[in-house]
Structure 1
Amino acid sequence: MSFTVSNPWRDRILKGQVCSVMSVKYAITNEIAMMAKVAGMDGMFIDMEHSVMTIREVSQLVTACNYVGVSPIVRIPSKAHWHLSRVLDAGAAAVVIPHCETVEQVREIVKDAKYAPLGRRGCAGNQPILNFQAVPTLKQNELLNMETMVIPMIETPGAVALADEFLAIPGVDGILVGSNDLCTDLEIPGQYDNPVYIDSVTKVVKAGVRAGKPIGIGGIGGRLDLLEKFFTMGATWSLSGADGSMLQAGMQQLGRIYADINRRVQSSRKAVEPPASKKEVVRRKEDSKGACQTRVNVAEISA
């Protein structure tokens, strides 16, 4: 009997195809998975590091993503083994680990995230990513070791220098570059055109090409020119946009549109407003004088 795992994002990046992945921090109900599918997204980056999502909310979103065919990629908030195991047991197609600094750290992460013989992940049946199929333990472990991805993040110059060594570790399935933290650590925050940043990312991408493992780029979703440059070098996926920024951009656009409509409408109304008659002008002047007199009287009483 054959068993399958649905991970379309993995299948595409391993073929060298460029994939889009949206980041989610706020839109955490199941509907966002369906919207991502309709929009043509290959994966959903569920960000536990920079959000207040609970493991229950992550689990529901992961299940929805797997159901509609959008690969759930979860960034955990720490390197703790119980973060890794719970997210993987929830059905994540990939787990992203932030702030990886040493080869030993990455080796320990692999041990916690992979089943034997690659690691020491505890066995649990009824895996959501297998659609709860009754898979024999040995077969389950082989399948999930192969199909679920372990992706350390590179976010410092020291980690950039270790890219080849990270990728050489059995069980490391790729790398994600964290551009914001990398630029900050390089003392060039937000300077994505800086040659130092470009050179750092280039080194990681080339390491991925040498190892035959996919490299993702995070933090520069708005810089399609840079992303295409890195894709041409050999990177295969990026964090293409975040739920919060996309919602904010859409709301701001609507706000500007309606502000422009309001200005045009007010201008049109003034243009067609009939001129006031002589009687109306006199009445307005009298009303104005009366108002002035009233203010004077009130001032005298107050004094």
Structure 2
Amino acid sequence: MKSSFRSRLCAGETLTGSWLTIGSTTTAEIMASADFDWLTIDMEHSAIGLGMAQEMIRTVEARGVTPLVRVGHNQPNLIKRVMDAGATGVIVPMVNTAEEAEQAVQSVKYPPRGFRGVGLARAQQYGFGFEEYQQWNHDNSVVIVQVEHIEAVNNLESILAVDGVDGFMVGPYDLSGSLGMPGNFSHPDVKAALERVEAIAAGSRAAPGFHVVQPDPDALEAKRAKGYRFLAYGLDSLFLGAGARKAATEARNPAGQSRG
């Protein structure tokens, strides 16, 4: 049914993806053609609704790329609906305790592991593939929790010990914000929090992840060197904006034109 993304993640492979924040199947198709391993449809910090998310999932999947969805909240009904729409897995924001991590897992999995209700939507081939999907969901659905608060850092060992948590994603802006310094990644307290995350991750089976928001290849390589292997790189609007600004600058100042 779907790719073996979870098995690749659990096997220790480094998987690089990006973020979709523009509610457009055209943008999703362009991004999915760029050879990322996965793409996350962001329903937390965008205007994307469930109907558009389902169409974007379909588009990404058609290009052979794994579609994930970041839900807006660790809420069972939200998670159930994006999984029913066909997402391979979810990225769940602001998971600060083991109990919250357990809720995220149970929202994705059917009984007896979880409490997800049974629906017959796109994921289940509209009622003609439930048994196949049920087995796929048990074996291959993906749960990624976001570590984006100092409380999550303090509870990280117990969060990652929850069965069914396949990985985590550091949210650098919110994590620094929880320390009273949003965006100040060079502050000693922020650095210390990240060092603690990296030390705990080194002894965990869960895949460590980080979102390198600004598309800087050197920053991406630095995170890879620190052991992060579930890596988000940039997002659609930044790629679009950076390309447009570069093109506009070149149009105003053609190569060889005198600036004197």
TM-score of the superposition, structure 2-length normalised?
0.88
Of the three residues 66, 78, 81, the one matched with 1:83 is 78
For the residues of structure 1 that align with 2:35 and 2:78, how far apart are their CA atoms? 29
Q: Does 1:20 align with 2:13?
A: no
Q: Does 1:152 align with 2:152?
A: no
What whole-Å deviation, never above 9, does each CA across 1:80-113 have from its counterpart, x for those lacking one?
2111000000111120111112222222222222
Q: Does 1:179 align with 2:172?
A: yes
Match of 1:194 in 2: 187
For the residues of structure 2 that align with 1:224 and 1:161, how far apart are their CA atoms? 30
- Are the aligned partners of 2:40 and 2:69 in contact in 1 as well (CA < 8 Å)? yes
- Are the aligned partners of 2:147 and 2:153 in contact in 1 as well (CA < 8 Å)? yes
How many positions carry a matched residue from both structures?
Answer: 260
- State how 1:66-145 maps to structure 2 within 5 Å: 66-125=61-120, 127-128=122-123, 134-135=128-129, 137=131, 140-145=133-138
For the residues of structure 1 that align with 2:156 and 2:126, how far apart are their CA atoms? 36
Deviation (angstroms), 1:245: 1.0
Of the three residues 218, 228, 236, the one matched with 1:235 is 228
- Are the aligned partners of 1:55 and 1:87 in contact in 2 as well (CA < 8 Å)? yes
Shift of the 106–255 alpha-carbon distance from structure 1 to 2, 3 Å rule, reads same
- Are the aligned partners of 1:36 and 1:70 in contact in 2 as well (CA < 8 Å)? no
Deviation (angstroms), 1:223: 4.5
What whole-Å deviation, never above 9, does each CA across 1:205-254 have from its counterpart, x for those lacking one?
34333221112112544344443233223211222111111111111111
- Are the aligned partners of 1:6 and 1:66 in contact in 2 as well (CA < 8 Å)? no
Q: Does 1:5 align with 2:16?
A: no
Shift of the 228–197 alpha-carbon distance from structure 1 to 2, 3 Å rule, reads farther
For the residues of structure 1 that align with 2:30 and 2:129, how far apart are their CA atoms? 31
Shift of the 223–260 alpha-carbon distance from structure 1 to 2, 3 Å rule, reads closer
Q: Tell me the SS of whatever aligns to 1:5.
A: coil
Instruction: Report the AA paired with residue 194 of structure 1.
Output: H
Q: Tell me the SS of whatever aligns to 1:170.
A: coil
CA RMSD of aligned residues (A): 2.5
Instruction: Report the AA paired with residue 71 of structure 1.
Output: T
Shift of the 224–197 alpha-carbon distance from structure 1 to 2, 3 Å rule, reads farther
Task: Tell me: higher relative CO, structure 1 or 2? Use CA pairs within 8 A at least 6 residues apart.
Answer: 2
Q: Which structure's residues are more often helix, by fraction?
A: 1
For the residues of structure 1 that align with 2:127 and 2:195, how far apart are their CA atoms? 42
Deviation (angstroms), 1:29: 2.8
For the residues of structure 2 that align with 1:11 and 1:261, how far apart are their CA atoms? 49
For the residues of structure 1 that align with 2:28 and 2:194, how far apart are their CA atoms? 30
Bigger drift between 150-159 and 55-64 goes to 150-159
For the residues of structure 1 that align with 2:234 and 2:13, how far apart are their CA atoms? 18
Instruction: Report the AA paired with residue 249 of structure 1.
Output: A
For the residues of structure 2 that align with 1:217 and 1:225, how far apart are their CA atoms? 14
What whole-Å deviation, never above 9, does each CA across 1:103-135 have from its counterpart, x for those lacking one?
22222222222112211111234553x767944
Deviation (angstroms), 1:172: 1.4
Q: Does 1:32 align with 2:27?
A: yes
- Are the aligned partners of 1:20 and 1:42 in contact in 2 as well (CA < 8 Å)? yes
Instruction: Report the AA paired with residue 227 of structure 1.
Output: L
For the residues of structure 1 that align with 2:259 and 2:197, how far apart are their CA atoms? 56
Deviation (angstroms), 1:58: 0.1
TM-score of the superposition, structure 1-length normalised?
0.77
Instruction: Report the AA paired with residue 156 of structure 2.
Output: A
Identity %: 25
- Are the aligned partners of 1:155 and 1:181 in contact in 2 as well (CA < 8 Å)? yes
- State how 1:288-299 maps to structure 2 within 5 Å: none
Shift of the 131–232 alpha-carbon distance from structure 1 to 2, 3 Å rule, reads farther
Match of 2:60 in 1: 65
Of the three residues 42, 47, 58, the one matched with 1:47 is 42
Instruction: Report the AA paired with residue 3 of structure 2.
Output: S
Specify every segment of 5 or more residues in structure 2 that has no aligned partner in the other structure, as ranges: none
Deviation (angstroms), 1:24: 1.1
Deviation (angstroms), 1:11: 4.2
**Max Rg structure:** 1
